[in-house]
Amino acid sequence: MKPLTLEMTAFGPFADTQRLDFTALGDWPLFLINGPTGAGKTTILDAICFALYGKTTGNEREGTQMRCDSAPDSLLTEVVFEFGLADKRYRVRRTPEQQRAKKSGDGYTVQKSEAFLERLEGDSAVPMASAKVTEVTAEIEDLLGLEVEQFRQVMVLPQGQFRKLLLADSKEREAIFGQLFQTGIYKRIEDSLKQRALELKAKARELEARRAGILETAGAESLDALNAAISALAPELASAADAKLAAETKLAAAKAGRQAAEARLREFSALNDTKARLEAENARAESMAALGIQLERATLAESLAGAWHAWEEREKERVSAETAAMQAVEEAKQAETALAHAREAAFALPELDAKRQQLRADAERLAEWRPRMSRLSALSEAIATLGQGLSALDANLAHVRSQLGDTLGRMAQLTQQRRDLSALASSAGSLEAALVQQTQAFERQQQFIEKERQAHKLGAELSRLEADGRQAKVNQERLTHARELLELAWHQGQAAILAARLLPGEPCSVCGSKDHPNPAHHEGMLPGDDELAAARDAEQQARELLSRARSDYKAQKQRLDAMAQELAHDAAALGDALASSLEQKQLVLLKSREACQNAKAALHSLQALENELEQLGHSQKQLQAQIEELQRQREQQSGELQKASGEKESLSSAIPELCQRLGSEQAFDEHLATLAEQFNALSAQMDELQVRLKEAETRQTQCNERRDALQQALTGACSRAAAAKSRLDSELVAKGFADTTSFNQARMSADEMSAAKNSIASWQQQLAGLKERLAAQQEALGDALPPDLTELAAAEACAQEEFGQSNQRWQSLNDTQVMYSRARAQLGSEAEAAARLDEDYALIGTLSDAASGQTGARISLQRFVLGVLLDDVLIEASSRLHLMSKGRYRLIRKEDKAKGNRASGLDLDVEDAYSGKLRPVATLSGGESFMAALSLALGLSDVVQAYAGGIKLDTLFIDEGFGSLDQDSLELAIRTLVDLQSAGRMIGVISHVTEMKEQIQTRVEISKGSDGSNISLTIP
C-alpha count within 13 angstroms, C-beta hemisphere, residue 901: 0
Q: Output the DSSP codes for 184-245.
A: HHHHHHHHHHHHHHHHHHHHHHHHHHHHHHHHHHHT-SSHHHHHHHHHHHHHHHHHHHHHHH
What is the rounded distance in angstroms from the CA atom of residue 522 to the CA atom of residue 492? 7
DSSP SS3 for 163? coil
Instruction: Enumerate residues 6+ apart whose C-beta is below 8 A from 461.
Output: 556
Q: In the prediction, which pLDDT does 9 show?
A: 93
Cα torsion angle, 843, 849, 855, 857, sign:
positive
The answer to whether residue 265 scores a pLDDT higher than 70 is yes
- Write out pLDDT tens, residues 697-753: 888 888 888 888 888 888 888 888 888 778 877 777 777 777 777 777 777 878 888
* Predicted confidence band of residue 784 (pLDDT cuts 50, 70, 90): confident
Note whether 762 and 755 are within 8 A (CB).
no
Q: In the prediction, which pLDDT does 6 show?
A: 95
What is the rounded distance in angstroms from the CA atom of residue 853 to the CA atom of residue 902? 12
Burial class (CB in 10 A: 0-12, 13-18, 19+), 970: buried
Closest CA to 792 of 167, 156, 254, 360: 254
Closest CA to 156 of 1007, 1019, 969, 961: 961
Total length of the chain = 1020
For the segment 961-969, the average pLDDT, to the nearest whole number, is 66
* Predicted confidence band of residue 948 (pLDDT cuts 50, 70, 90): very low
Task: Give the Cα-Cα-Cα angle 661, 664, 668 (nearest 5 degrees).
Answer: 75
Q: In the prediction, which pLDDT does 654 show?
A: 59
Q: Could you say which DSSP state residue 918 is in?
A: E
Task: Give the Cα-Cα-Cα angle 869, 874, 878 (nearest 5 degrees).
Answer: 160
Beta bridge partners of 21: 5
- Write out pLDDT tens, residues 544-555: 787 777 767 777
DSSP SS3 for 130? strand
- Write out pLDDT tens, residues 111-147: 888 899 999 988 888 888 876 788 898 898 888 877 8
Instruction: Enumerate residues 6+ apart whose C-beta is below 8 A from 418.
Output: 606, 609, 610, 613
Note whether 803 and 244 are within 8 A (CB).
yes
What is the rounded distance in angstroms from the CA atom of residue 295 to the CA atom of residue 733? 20
Q: In the prediction, which pLDDT does 78 show?
A: 93
Neighbours of 651 (CB within 10 A): 14
What is the rounded distance in angstroms from the CA atom of residue 929 to the CA atom of residue 921? 8
- Write out pLDDT tens, residues 97-114: 888 877 777 777 888 888
The overall pTM is greater than 0.85: no
For the segment 860-884, the average pLDDT, to the nearest whole number, is 82
The answer to whether residue 428 scores a pLDDT higher than 60 is no
What is the rounded distance in angstroms from the CA atom of residue 493 to the CA atom of residue 805? 12
Q: Average the pLDDT over each of 157-166, 284-293, 336-345 and give the range with the smallest value.
A: 157-166
Note whether 879 and 938 are within 8 A (CB).
no
Closest CA to 139 of 131, 128, 148, 150: 128
Distances (CA, A) of 525 to 496, 528, 806, 808, 947: 12, 9, 22, 19, 91
What is the rounded distance in angstroms from the CA atom of residue 484 to the CA atom of residue 476? 12
End-to-end CA distance of the chain: 25
Cα torsion angle, 677, 679, 684, 686, sign:
positive
- Write out pLDDT tens, residues 362-404: 676 666 666 666 666 777 777 778 778 778 878 887 887 788 7
Which amino acid, one-letter code, is at 784? A
Cα torsion angle, 40, 44, 45, 50, sign:
positive
Note whether 862 and 925 are within 8 A (CB).
no
* Predicted confidence band of residue 804 (pLDDT cuts 50, 70, 90): confident
- Write out pLDDT tens, residues 482-517: 877 777 676 666 666 666 666 666 666 656 666 666
Cα torsion angle, 624, 625, 626, 629, sign:
positive
Q: Could you say which DSSP state residue 788 is in?
A: P
Note whether 842 and 197 are within 8 A (CB).
no
Q: In the prediction, which pLDDT does 901 show?
A: 45
Mean pLDDT of the chain: 78
Closest CA to 941 of 168, 147, 153, 158: 153
DSSP SS3 for 104? coil
What is the rounded distance in angstroms from the CA atom of residue 1020 to the CA atom of residue 1015? 17
Q: In the prediction, which pLDDT does 494 show?
A: 63
The answer to whether residue 348 scores a pLDDT higher than 60 is yes
Which amino acid, one-letter code, is at 722? A
Q: Which long-range contacts (CB under 8 A, 24 or more apart) does 480-487 make?
A: 480/539, 480/542, 482/535, 482/538, 482/539, 483/532, 483/535, 483/536, 483/538, 483/539, 486/527, 486/531, 486/532, 486/535, 487/532, 487/808
* Predicted confidence band of residue 900 (pLDDT cuts 50, 70, 90): very low
CA 811 from centroid of its chain's CA atoms: 55
What are the residue ranges of helices labelled H in 653-737? Answer: 657-662, 665-735
What is the rounded distance in angstroms from the CA atom of residue 541 to the CA atom of residue 545? 6
The answer to whether residue 949 scores a pLDDT higher than 60 is no
- Write out pLDDT tens, residues 448-492: 777 778 888 888 888 888 888 888 888 878 887 787 777 767 666
Q: In the prediction, which pLDDT does 659 show?
A: 65
Q: In the prediction, which pLDDT does 119 show?
A: 92
What is the rounded distance in angstroms from the CA atom of residue 221 to the CA atom of residue 227? 11
